[in-house]
Copies of this chain bind each other. A is one copy, B any other.
Amino acid sequence: MNTSILTPEEWFSQPRVIAGIMTGTSLDAIDSALVEFSAESDGNHRFKLLESKAFPYDFNLKQGILDLISKPTTIRDVTKIHYELSYAYSNAVKELMKLTGLKEIDAVSIHGQTVWHEPGTSPDRRMTFQLGGVSALAQLLNTRVVGNFREADTALGGQGAPLVPIFDYEFFATGTDDIIAINIGGMSNLTLLPANCTLDNVKAFDSGPGNVLVDTAMRVLYNRAYDESGAVATTGEIIPALLDMLKSIEFIYQEPPKSTGRETFGIELIHTILDKFAQTHLARDIITTLSYFTAWAIAHNIKLFGKANSEIIVSGGGSHNKYIISTLLSLLPESKIIISDDIGIPADAKEGICFAYLAYRTLGGMTSNIPSVTGASRECILGLVAYP
C-alpha cells in the first residue's frame, strides 16, 4: 500500500521539508525556496529556510508565455507551455535539492504561472488560471506536489488573492505589537496585523505600485532592469508637478480590500509621464520622483488604514532599494522598519517560502484563505494535490 497519503495527524507528527516554487507575472525568474516546517505542541508552526535560489526563465518559454497572454494562440501551444513549465519546475527542484545535498523531500509546492487573473466585478465572475502540471510534476519528482492555490477561493466568490497574509499572520503577528508586512514586488502588498489580532481582523491589500514604475522607467531611460540599491534615485531631486500628478491617482485612497496591476501602474502611465516631463527634466529626477511616490503611497495607506507606529517588515525586491526604505522611514518616523533579509527571509525568497507554507497547511488539511481578505464566502483547503 502506498503511503504518500497521510492524515493531518501523521503529516504534522514530524518536521516536513517542502520546496516552494514561485513564478510571478513579471516572468523574471523561477524563485525557489527549500523550507523545513514543524508544528510545535502549542499548535504554532515554525519554519527554517534551508536554501533559496532564483533560476532564470528559459528565453523561449518566457516568450511563449508572453505570446499566449497577449494574443490568441492554439490550445496546442497552451498545452505545450503547461508541460514545459512542469519540466522547468522539475529542474529547479532538482537543482535546489542538489545545493543542499538532500535526496528526498516531503513535498513540492508550485504557484504555477498565472496566464489569466480576472477578479471580476461580482462574486460569480471571478477567474484565475495557472499553467504548470501539478500531476506531471509529482511523477517527474516522485513526491507529493500541491499547486493551483487560487482557484478554490475564486469558486467561493473570493478574488483568489492575496494568499500570503496567512503566512504573515502565522509567523509575524504578536500579542503585543502592531505589525505590518509589506512586500514590494511589482505592486506593493500590505498585510496589517494589529496586536493580538484574529484572522477576522487581518487586513491585506495593495497600496499601489511596488517596483513596477521605477523598473519600467529605468528600462526606457537607462536601458537597465532596475535601479540597483536606489543609486539613481539618491542622486536626483523630486519634480513637484510630477509628484502631484501621481498623488492624484484615485486608487491610493480607495478603501481596502483593493488590488491593482499594470493596467493602472504600468507602461502606459510611464509613457504619459515621459511625454509630459522627459523633455524638460533630468532622467534621474524622474526616477527619484517615481521612487519617492512608491514609498509615499505605501506610507499614506498605512496612515489611512493602519497605525503609523507599527513594526514594519519589508520584503520583495524593493526592500533592497535604499532610497525607498529611507523615504519610508522619513514618512513614518514613529515606526520601526525591519528588512526581511535581516530576520532570515531573503527578499526574493519570501513568496517561495509562503507557497511552501500553503502546501504544508493543505497537506495537513488546514484552510489558508482569509475570507475577510479575499472576499470568499468561507475558509477552504486550497490547491490541488498529486501523489506519486
Contacts and interface: CB of A to CB of B under 8 A. Distances in A.
What is the count of identical protomers in the complex?
2
A176 B184 CA distance: 69
Given A83-B127, A127-B79, A129-B79, A135 B152 contact: yes
A106 to B, nearest CB: 15
Contacts of A382: 135
Interface string A120-136: 00000001110001111
Given A72-B72, A388-B381, A118 B367 contact: no
B367 A2 contact: yes
Contacts of A225: none
A231 interface: no
A135 B73 contact: no
Interface string A151-171: 110111000000000000000
B154 A116 contact: no
A42 interface: no
Interface string A55-96: 000000000000011011111101110110010000000000
A69 B79 contact: no
Cβ-closest 8 pairs across A and B: A136-B155, A72-B72, A79-B129, A135-B151, A384-B384, A2-B365, A139-B155, A79-B116
A118 B79 contact: yes
Contact of A381 (B2, B6, B74, B137): B2
A151 to B, nearest CB: 4
Most central of A1, A6, A155 by chain B CB within 10 Å = A155
Contacts of A82: 127, 129
A75 B83 contact: no
A63 to B, nearest CB: 15
A140 to B, nearest CB: 5
Contacts of A86: 155
A385 interface: yes
B2 A129 contact: no
A136 to B, nearest CB: 4
Contact of A75 (B7, B78, B139): B78
A119 to B, nearest CB: 13
A136 B376 CA distance: 12
Contacts of A250: none
B129 A151 contact: no
Contacts of A73: 72-73, 75
B129 A152 contact: no
A3 interface: yes
Given A68-B75, A69-B75, A133-B151, 12 more contacts: A1-B8, A3-B8, A3-B365, A75-B116, A79-B116, A79-B118, A82-B129, A135-B148, A135-B382, A152-B386, A381-B386, A384-B386
